[in-house]
Amino acid sequence: MTKALLAALLTAAAAPALAQPTIAPPPPPVPPQVEQLRTAAMQDDYAWDIVEGLTTEVGPRLAGTEAEARAREWSVRKLRSLGFANVRVETFDMPVWVRGEEKAWITAPFPQPLVVTALGNSGATPPQGIEAELVGFDTIDELIAAPDAAVRGKIVFVSHAMGRTQDGSSYGVFGRPRREGPSIASRKGALAIVVRSIGTDYHRNPHTGVMSFAEGVSLIPAGALPLPDAEQVQRILKRGRPVRMRLVMTPRNIGTRQSGNVIAEVPGRDPRAPMLLVSGHLDSWDLGTGAIDDGAGVAIAAAAAKRIMDAGRPLRTIRIVWFGAEEVGLFGGLDYRAKHGKLAYHAIAESDFGADRVWKVDSRLGKENEAEAKMLQLALAPLGIVPGSLEKAEGSDISPLLADGLPGVTLNQDGTHYFDLHHTPDDTLDKVDPAALRQNVAAWTTMLAVLSGGIEPHPKRRNRR
């Protein structure tokens, strides 16, 4: 950078006065109300208060468990205390899987313990565990290509080469060992499978995550090793001697239990105007306290709505949804769609990609709202957010609604470090950067302000009414 700067300074000094760069015409002004709300949101404390409270006073919130139920109670109290209207829980039933013991060892040729965690919906070993030869594959495609005889009666290990990406796209590409591996291994007659965690950090904290066995496939134990353990296994396998693993993994399905979505509103001046939906998910994996996945998301969405509510009455109703049971299969998103999918929405959005800064805005608001979409891009630019697509919106729990064609906005967070923490014991409050969290709140507040249809300031309060 130093050399580059020096070169730039020398070039600047040497440049003739004639060679002025072309300057784009100035953008149309963003309404002062939006700018004020954006600036004020950079001092936000509401979001920190929510994520700190939820992760401290509830902690881990596995879908369908009593911990998630406590989280709903906590949420109702919190949203009411913030002054939102129509705060309620909409329950639904779901199948629940819970973790048991999980331990692993290499027993030969170099006996030593490993760290392992069960993937969601994993089958179980007997309580005393299983021991078998370990057979390794560098990719899921190698496993697919392997003859059944190479796998039958063994424990399968699958690696991969996931790297960091700002947009998280490597999760899709390299998530196959977790999502597909267990069914493929089971079909070939494997006793169990362990995969290299779908993650990017080198800590002894494995990454769990949901998978489901294909129709008719026998359930086998399916676990994830942290990267240090996965690479240790690879080094051991490369020695070329037969490798044996012992695995104890005793998760179980506990049947149908209740989960639910928590809903709250900022009532709009026009109840018939298509509304804005902002969301995150309340449940978390059980290993951490769900600070970045997705305590930060519910906090950001609610804090932005709160800031609009404090400023005045928006034309459109803003609905906050804290979805239940996202991690284990989008049960909350699907329940919401069944109950509210036919309502009129001006835009729907979800924050569920950590707590790092928003770097890009995508939207799909329709041709008729293109001016508003462009205004949104301009209004977000001072936060360091670049304009993205005008024909795209994403979000986990809202994906069923987006698939129905509903309009949406995505405030894309930087995911470079997300998969260091995602679904691990390390997803704890200390990982949330308060400054980045405020930038998120500012982005969401700006988005709501631009799309609100206008915010009518509250009448000035008289002193001592």
- Please report, as ranges, the residues that interact with a second copy according to CB under 8 A: 1-2, 5-6, 9, 52, 55-60, 67, 106, 110-113, 115, 202-205, 227-228, 231-232, 235-236, 239, 288-289, 424-426, 428-431
Query: What span, in angstroms and rounded, lies between the C-alpha atoms of 436 and 163?
Result: 23
327 versus 350: smaller Cβ distance to a second copy: 327
Whether the CB-CB separation of 41 and 442 falls below 8 Å is answered with yes
Adjacent-strand bridge partners of 114: 104
Following DSSP, what letter does each residue of 131-171 receive, concatenated? Answer: EEEEEEESSHHHHHHS-GGGTTTSEEEE-------TT-HHH
CB of 211 to a second copy, least distance (A): 23
8 versus 254: smaller Cβ distance to a second copy: 8
CB of 379 to a second copy, least distance (A): 31
Number of residues that make up the chain: 465
288 versus 395: smaller Cβ distance to a second copy: 288
CB of 309 to a second copy, least distance (A): 27
71 versus 406: smaller Cβ distance to a second copy: 71
Q: Would you call 336 helix, strand, or coil by DSSP?
A: helix
CB of 106 to a second copy, least distance (A): 8
CB of 239 to a second copy, least distance (A): 8
60 versus 408: smaller Cβ distance to a second copy: 60
Adjacent-strand bridge partners of 410: 362
Adjacent-strand bridge partners of 411: 361
H or E stretch at 387: strand 386-387
Angle ∠(59,61,64) on CA atoms, nearest 5:
155
Query: What span, in angstroms and rounded, lies between the C-alpha atoms of 49 and 117?
Result: 31
What tokens were used for 24? 């784009």
CB of 218 to a second copy, least distance (A): 31
183 versus 428: smaller Cβ distance to a second copy: 428
99 versus 281: smaller Cβ distance to a second copy: 99
CB of 111 to a second copy, least distance (A): 8
Task: Check whether the bond before 201 is cis (ω within 30° of 0).
Answer: no
CB of 401 to a second copy, least distance (A): 32
CA distance to 291, 296, 347, 383, 389, per residue, from 361 (Å): 23, 18, 13, 11, 7
* Pure H helices in 125-277: 140-145, 169-174, 176-179, 181-187, 227-238
5 versus 149: smaller Cβ distance to a second copy: 5
Non-local (6+) Cβ contacts of 252 within 8 A are: 97, 98, 100, 124
